[in-house]
Each structure stands twice: as structure tokens, then as C-alpha cells.
Amino acid sequence: MAKNKFNKNWLHDHLNDPYVKLAQKEGYRARAAYKLSEIDQQDHLIKAGMTIIDLGSTPGSWSQYARNRLVELRRNPSPENAGKPDGCIIAIDLLPMEPIADVHFIQGDFREDEGLKALEAALPADANGKVDLVLSDMAPNLSGVGVADSARMALLAELALEFAKGHLKPDGALIIKCFHGSGYSQIVETFKGVFKTVLARKPKASRDKSSETFLLGRYLK
């Protein structure tokens, strides 16, 4: 009974969520697009000409936002490139993802050689294997057991950080999702060991009830 009540409450909140309605209106696959949008507007993350990697991209709203932003930022528009992004977006996920125009999607695991090679092969020739921005909205399947969930979240943060260390340009940035609670302060300290600037962000689009926080690292040490 309690579970049914919880599901009904969640459904009611979801259907009445202004960001859900906005996502439907503007063609985004998930309300998460507005979390990245707020952070990008605050911190000026996305710039023309960037190479961007979206880890754990499905269903694709972060890739959608990044693509739309790179279209807006296009330098020297011409009839040939009108409506095209000024930059490169590569998305990777274990799960399938519906195609997004101008986004190169790889269904695979960036932790495995096969997925990593496919990702590196998709990088622009002039990138020299390095990227400007790594996005990660990845989250584990939550069990409700705090310690276990924190450990899973910390592992995903560590994986994104390891990937970023190996692939970011010196002035690049990484943004990940994490949760306040056990292990959060350790993730922050780990970030501080890698980046010169570390910032926590809680966008308005992130639900008040959620302990979700986004951690932004910039400029490799």
C-alpha cells in the first residue's frame, strides 16, 4: 500500500513538474537538460569549437542540450553549416539511445578497451586524443541502502574522473552527478587532487527533495 502511495505521489509530482512540461514543449528527452543548462549558463562551460564527451548519455537530454548550444554558438555561419553545431559531441552508454542529429553515439562501455577505442576513433583528427569537456549524469540504480548506494555513486565518480584525467585538455572541465551523504566529501577531495578549481552546483531544476548535487572540476593540475 505504501509503495503504491509513493508511486502515485511520484507520478503526480512528475506530471505537474514545470521542467517536465518544458522538456516536452522544447523537445528534450528528460528534464535533466535544464540542470545542465543552468550550470552552463552560470559557469560558461560550453564554447564554440569544443569536443564534448557525454558518459552514460542515455536517454540523451544532455547531448541534446550540448548540441543545441553548439548550434547557437556557431561562428561564421554559412548556408552549408546553418543549423549545425560548431564542435563535436560523442555520447557513450551501455544502453541504446535514439539517434540525435550531429551526435556520434557509441553503445558500449568506456571502461572496456573496445568502447574506449571506438570513442577515441570518433574524436576529430585535430583533437590529438584530447577533449574540452566531459559530461556525466550517470547514477547507479539506487537500492535505498545508504552505504551501498554511496559506494556505487563513488565508483561512478571515480570512473568519470579517471576517464577525464586521461582525455581532458589541460584547461578542460568535468561535471558529474553525485549525492550528498556518506562518501561525498571524499569525492570532493579527490576532485581537488586533480583540478585547480572545484565547484558544487545545485541547479533549480534539481528537485528540492533530492540530495543530488553536481560537481564541477576545471583546469587539470
Per-residue pLDDT tens listing for the chain (221 residues): 444 554 665 455 556 778 888 888 888 999 999 999 999 999 999 999 999 999 999 999 999 999 999 999 998 888 888 899 999 999 999 999 999 999 999 999 998 999 999 999 999 988 888 999 999 998 877 766 767 777 888 889 999 999 999 999 999 999 999 888 778 899 999 999 999 999 999 999 887 777 889 999 999 99
Amino acid letter for position 89: I
Torsion of the alpha carbons at 216, 213, 150 and 164, rounded to the nearest 10: -20
pTM of the model: 0.89
Amino acid letter for position 160: A
Q: Which CATH number fits domain 29-220: 3.30.300.30, 3.40.50.150, 3.10.180.10, 3.10.400.10?
A: 3.40.50.150
Map out the domains of the chain as residue ranges.
Answer: 29-220
CA distance 55 to 134: 7
| 177 has catalytic annotation | yes
Task: Choose the catalytic residue: 177, 196, 202, 221.
Answer: 177
CA distance 194 to 20: 35
Residue 104's nearest CA partner among 122, 86, 131, 125 is 122
Question: Any idea what DSSP says for residue 157?
Answer: H
